[in-house]
């Protein structure tokens, strides 16, 4: 799957986001190593600690369906480019190797692609 296609799927998730507090809607599309795509959006909550990011939503859906090997994730927001927060970066590190790709950008013609190692150089696993 091409990065532009994965980015487009992430864009399709933005309208599904529930962000009444921040108004910052995020969509994600997670590509597994076997070619499946799992989508996610951010879901805010009145108890802010219960809020879940789009990236973790996609990962939790995949893991709950038995998929644990991943190739790439595309992330986009209602404001364009979006980056994983620190919690999401560490969460992804649990399931991804250093070559896992993170894709974002303002539109499909300005994509930026980084590896897990680049966005979390000192991530850890127990």
| CA-to-CA separations, 5 to 24, 100, 122, in angstroms, rounded | 22, 17, 30
Beta pairing class for 70-77 and 26-32:
antiparallel
User: 15 phi and psi, to 5 degrees?
Assistant: -65, -20
5, 55, 94, 98: the catalytic one is 55
Q: 32, 67 in Cβ contact below 8 A?
A: yes
**Residue 81 annotated to the active site:** no
Q: Which of the residues are catalytic?
A: 55
């Amino acid at each position: 799957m091409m990065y532009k296609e994965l980015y487009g799927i992430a864009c399709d998730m933005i309208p599904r986001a529930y962000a009444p507090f921040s108004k910052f809607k995020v969509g994600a599309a997670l590509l597994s190593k076997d070619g499946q795509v799992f989508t996610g959006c951010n879901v805010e909550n009145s108890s802010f600690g219960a809020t879940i990011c789009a990236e973790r939503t996609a990962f939790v859906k995949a893991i709950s369906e038995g998929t644990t090997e991943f190739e790439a994730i595309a992330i986009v927001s209602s404001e364009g480019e979006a980056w994983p927060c620190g919690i999401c970066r560490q969460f992804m590190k649990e399931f991804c190797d250093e070559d896992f790709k993170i894709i974002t950008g303002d539109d499909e013609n300005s994509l930026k692609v980084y590896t897990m190692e680049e966005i979390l150089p000192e991530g850890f696993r127990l």
